[in-house]
A and B are shown apart, each in its own frame.
Chain A
Amino acid sequence: MRITVNIPTILRPLTNDQKRIEITALNVLEVIDQIEQQYPGVKEKLITEGQAHRFVNIYVNDNDIRFSDGLSTSLQDGDSITILPSVAGG
């Protein structure tokens, strides 16, 4: 499955300043593993102990993966993934 991934500003230093990356993968976790292979350091910013970080939002098209199958959410050809760090604070 060809997937487009939108990279947030804060991760662009790790991805040679690329805003978008094309990946072939079957689910969200695979996408992240593939990015990690090309651009080491990305995965630890997104995942701890097998779970997506509390303050990282990952969307498949318009859908927050928390309301699908999380990191196992499966993908269709042409899907677009958006990673956005939550804007939060105290």
Chain B
Amino acid sequence: MLVIHSKLVEAMIAQSHKDHPIETCGVIAGPEGSNIPLRLIPMRNVAQSKTFFEFDPQQQLQVWREMEAQGEEPVVIYHSHTGSQAYPSRTDVENASEPGAHYVIIPTDNLYDREIRSFRILDGMITEERVCTVSAYHKLQAALEQLIEA
């Protein structure tokens, strides 16, 4: 299950609608091993396409370095589908290179889907998972603090 703060969901949706009909994309970083998405980083889609996205390689290098320096990892990798259902496409599966990440897809065409959906993608196999939107990370933050203490 992906537990995610509602503000992050709103931010992803706002960014997707702003870029529609071009696919939007980005990453949400969180402390390594915590499974908590905290820091949302919109990424430039160098493909600028209605059917494809690709993180700007130069920006990706910079962001990935920042995450490493801060002990973070990509918890969520998100992009929008602007003219199809919110289900991973073949290219999404082929390029899924973060086995630990939640792959979130934001639909911007109501014809297909209304809600964001989240997936685990491992060895070409997709499993949908539930998205639980919360207004605060309470319990999880406690868990996180423990993690930091340990």
Interface residues of A (CB under 8 A from B): 8-10, 55, 57, 59, 62, 64, 82, 84-90
Please encode chain B, from 25 to 45, with 1 for each CB lying within 8 Å of some chain A CB and 0 for all others: 101000000000000000100
Q: Are B95 and A85 in contact, with the CB atoms below 8 A?
A: yes
In-complex Cβ contact of A9 among B51, B58, B95, B100 (8 A) = B100
Interface status of B107 (Cβ within 8 A of chain A) = no
Listed from nearest, the 9 A-B pairs whose CB atoms lie closest are A85-B97, A89-B92, A90-B91, A88-B54, A90-B89, A87-B55, A57-B57, A88-B95, A10-B97
- Beyond A8-B97, A9-B99, A10-B97, whether A88 also contacts B61 by CB under 8 A is no
Which residues of B59-76 have CB atoms within 8 Å of chain A's CB atoms?
60-61, 64-65, 73
- Beyond A9-B99, A55-B95, A57-B57, whether A87 also contacts B88 by CB under 8 A is no
